[in-house]
Structure 1
Amino acid sequence: RNLITVASPVDMHQSGLTGKFLSVVYKPAQSISSMLNVSLLDMPAKMFHVPGWVSSVAFKLTNPIGSVINSYEKFLNLWDREYLEESLTMSKWFDDMVDYPGETIKDMAVHMMINNRIASGAMRIGQAKAQFNKIACSILAFAGESDNIVSVKAAHKILDIVSSTDKEFCIAPGGHAGVFAGASAPAHTWALSADWLVERSDKR
């Protein structure tokens, strides 16, 4: 009945420098793949496996200053148990990220990043084909104000490819993870989501 997306990378070619690079290499990559009859999808999945610690380091490098500030704020709030519980929970999530399976990364690299299939409105997943214009439910989409991974434009694209008439877009404080798990998330992303859902829930 209702759908909420949070910092979802719908248009990968609109995400900062990485997006510009992907949009530039898209056509050459297609030509080379066609001429040589090769594809990244033919390569062994183990070559694309990303260990959890690599993801953890990559996330932290997107905002190195923020990591330092976060440690400093913990020191300043040693007396605040609630603050420390929230902050340490978030830190643990960043420190103990799970591995990304190679097959998943391979599909993401080809279909989502290089070919930008979601932004085109349809993407094949296994033997099935997802067609986003068949989505007609109420939709609320969020983007992170300082997200270095998924830009505001990339997240906003979801509203262009669905058939929904009741749709809303919000920019929330924080980076890619901060939008849903940062200190401001409860008062922004989740409070707005709760109010939005209440208005669209069955009152019976």
Structure 2
Amino acid sequence: MLTDTLQQVVYKRTRPWRHRLDNGRARLFDAQQLSQAEQTPYETLFDDGLVKLRYYPPLTESAIPLSDGTVVPVSQTTQRTPLVLVAPLAVNMLIYDLFPQRSLVRYLRARGFELYMVDWGRPGRHHNHLSLSSYFADYLPKLLVQVRQHSGEQKLSLHGWSFGGLFSLCYAALGNDPDINNLVLIGAPTDYHRNGALGGQYRALSRRAKWIRKRTGLRIHDVPADLLRSPGWVNSLAFKLTNPIGSLQGYWSLMKNLHDRDFVASHATNGAFLDDMVAYPGGVIQDIIRYLWTDNVVAHGQLPMEGTDGHLNQVTANVLNITGANDPIVTPECSQAMKPLIRSKDKTFVTIDGGHMGILGSAAAQKQSWGRIAEWLIERD
């Protein structure tokens, strides 16, 4: 009897620690089951084995909750101009649909937009020939044909975050598509040499690269693309190192909150994005080093490719540019450098709270920019 009582006491006293251990084990070994990401249904309209085009059909709910507790009624009116989300490279698509109450695709669909998304996929080593222009000058025109055929509409709006914003801007600058009505550019780089601390590093690299080029004739494109591929784990590490203290604080918070299953699930959901980034093809790295870091061509209105008459002065679409006050990857100064280069008569530049990821999918972005984006587009529909 005494033994049974002692066992009961020990069991009761150790329950919190066993609960923490179970949550820790689930976070380490079963994170996919904990993740709340990507719950919004979609259809795949195009898939060539690498690149995919998604379509998000109308929601079945009458309203959706947001992370701050507010409820957004699902619009019964469909906006006339379809909206295409152009993702950046190196990321998986979870960021657009991270939590049920903090899902950009779910929110935009609720506001009545016919919604499409470009998923650039997971390039392998056999994709190292792909360059920056492969995405905005080759793939994107074909995908927008698919969007127009599916939607029955000619005029489109593009929403691009990070490199997706650069691709959207460069596509419009090619001057071949007058039916791009609106560009929503989130953390989209323009002037890499005016980019805070990173800008100083790019300027130093540019001086060295130009010195080598002048004296030896050697260019980065002379280096085999296969040697320059940047694996997904490297990109994940580089992203986290832009805010190392924040990354460490995230893991420390996890340790302190292992008793809270909801917190652990939230950490696993964020980790599903941050810990599973995608490779950059070697050809893309060649272009980044030459066109963006060394020659900084976009800051001069030029496009990061050879043999084109495209120029930022051919951009006439309405532009909404959103930057993050605490973004070390694309600073407001870097992105807003496009302002004098584009010919758009209707252009709005806004800076909100947050870093590079936060300005797209955080609670602050949901509060400060999602509604603004929707209203801005609806006013121009």
One fold, TM greater than 0.5? Answer: yes
Return closer, same or farther for 1:88/1:159 CA change in 2, 3 Å cut-off: farther
Does the aligned pair in 2 maintain the 1:143–1:179 contact within 8 Å?
Answer: yes
2:286 matches 1:106: yes
Distance in 2 (alpha carbons) for counterparts of 1:193 and 1:181:
13
CA contact (8 A) 2:298 2:304 kept: no
Give the corresponding residue for 2:242: 62
1:113 Cα deviation after fit: 1.1
* Structure 1 or 2: more helix by fraction: 1
Aligned pairs (5 A) from 1:74-153: 75=257, 78=260, 84-85=265-266, 88-153=268-333
Q: Kindly tell me: are residues 76 and 180 of structure 1, through their superposed partners in 2, closer, same or farther at Cα, counting changes over 3 Å?
A: farther
| Mapped partners of 2:295, 2:365: distance in 1 | 32
Shift of residue 177, structure 1, vs aligned partner: 1.1
Residue aligned with 1:146, SS: coil
How big is the shift at 1:77? 9.7
Q: Does the CA contact (< 8 Å) of 1:146 and 1:173 recur in 2? A: yes
Say if 2:216 is the partner of 1:36: yes
One of 353, 360, 363 as aligned partner of 1:173: 353
Shift of 1:178: 1.1
Say whether the 8 Å CA contact 1:141–1:158 is kept in structure 2: no
Q: Are the counterparts in 1 of residues 197 and 328 from structure 2 also a CA contact under 8 Å?
A: no
The structure number with the bigger radius of gyration is 2
The answer as to 2:193 corresponding to 1:45 is: no
Shift of 1:109: 1.0
Structure 1 residue aligned with 2:183: 3
Question: Which is further off, 182-191 or 70-79?
Answer: 70-79
Instruction: Using CA pairs under 8 Å that are at least 6 residues apart, name the structure with larger relative contact order, 1 or 2.
Output: 1
- Structure 1 pair 101/187, CA: closer, same or farther in 2 (3 Å)? same
* 1:195 corresponds to 2:375: yes
TM-fit CA distance, 1:28: 5.0
Q: Which amino acid aligns with 1:179?
A: I
Shift in alpha-carbon separation, 1:80–1:89, aligned structure 2, 3 A: closer
1:182 Cα deviation from its structure 2 partner = 2.0
* Deviation (angstroms), 1:126: 4.8
Secondary structure of the structure 1 residue equivalent to 2:327: coil
SS of residue matched to 1:55: helix
Partner of 1:19: 199
Q: AA paired with 1:23? A: R
Over 3 Å counting, the alpha-carbon distance change for 1:158 and 1:147 in structure 2 is same
Between the aligned partners of 2:242 and 2:216, the Cα distance in structure 1 is 35
- Unaligned runs of 5+ residues in structure 1 are none
Q: Is the 8 A contact 1:77 1:84 kept in 2?
A: no
Q: Distance in 1 between matches of 2:356 and 2:193?
A: 17
State the distance in 2 between where 1:198 and 1:55 align. Answer: 36
Q: Which amino acid aligns with 1:138?
A: N
User: Contact between 1:90 and 1:181, CA under 8 Å: does it hold in 2?
Assistant: no
How far off is 1:90 after superposition? 3.0
Structure 1 residues 145 and 45: CA distance shift in structure 2, 3 A: same
Q: Name the CA shift for 1:50/1:24 in 2 (closer, same or farther; >3 Å).
A: closer
Number of residue pairs matched by the alignment: 199
Instruction: Read off the aligned partner of 1:114 and give its amino acid letter.
Output: T
2:319 partner SS = strand
| TM-score, structure 2 normalization | 0.48
**Equivalent pairs: percent with the same residue?**
33
Matched, 1:155 2:335: yes
Q: Write the letter of the residue equivalent to 1:75.
A: N
Shift of 1:186: 1.5
Q: CA deviation at 1:89?
A: 3.1
Distance 2:324 2:270 in 1: 17
Please, which runs of 5 or more residues in structure 2 have no aligned partner? Answer: 1-180
Q: Where does residue 71 of structure 2 map in the other structure?
A: none
